Structure 1
Amino acid sequence: MNSILCGLDTEYGLLVGGRGAEEQIDDATAFVRASPDGRFVGWDYRPESPRSDLRGFRLDALAFDPVDAQFDAGKSHGAPHEIRSDRILANGARLYNDHGHPEYATPECRSVWELALQDRAGEGFMLRAAAALAREMDLEVKVYKNNTDFHGASYGTHESYL
């Protein structure tokens, strides 16, 4: 079999008992920080911009969705790098808060078989983080590997190949 370079990013649903959608960002941040498997490694976001395109052009403005905009206002959750709370896991994967959802990004893999194993390992990391947060908050914490929440928002899995 030919070697390929591939990876998966999976956004998980998160439910913390007794807390509402308005606390989703704070809960996802706490989830990542509670992970017993991760080490914080500063992530350099300076070269990233939602207006820059890989094909070499830059947008003057981003699309505006009035439905999404109603969720943009609200309390401040701190600096963006603090909210993301990036963690690097022992297997080289990345765990972070992606817009109120804990996200697991596999390390770069050389085969689909390795990718499946790393994705499965991510499920274990997520379950351990949920258990740690439940102990910390003394609340029930559940993570879901699905693609919609119960508020009408969708999220999912992104795959990459080289």
Structure 2
Amino acid sequence: MYPIAGMWVFWMPMILLGFDPITVFTVVALNLAYQFFVHTQVVNKLGWFEKVFNTPSHHRVHHAINKGYLDKNFAGVLIIWDKLFGTYAEEEASKPCKYGIIGQLNSNNPLTITFHQWAYLAKTTLNAKGLKAKLNVLFSYPTSALKHK
């Protein structure tokens, strides 16, 4: 679903600007391999590595819906950005990650699963009252969209 979801749109400008396509696709492949690594529950804490890089522990928080974990740890590779922008949360041993989504998705259709959030965002933006509310839905934290349902 990666190509269908449109992620290639973010890499294509590099090729259009003259970067070697093989180099771009190699970076994409390495990034995907790293993303495979961070999506595990087998690896626990990684010491000094966690100060700079996204790790499985950090990424578990990203996928959790617990209070205090929601809308945290957006990093792909470098966790320093979350630490700089105030979106970092440490995984706590006393607070195991609860996985899921806010609201229910009652479908097993892969296309619905892939695109439901885009449709929800469009619908929520259209239904929000006033320009400020619409912009808030588009550019604020995801949980702020819940206020405009």
TM-score (norm 1): 0.21
Q: Which has the larger radius of gyration?
A: 2
Indicate the structure with greater helix content. 2
Indicate the structure with greater strand content. 1
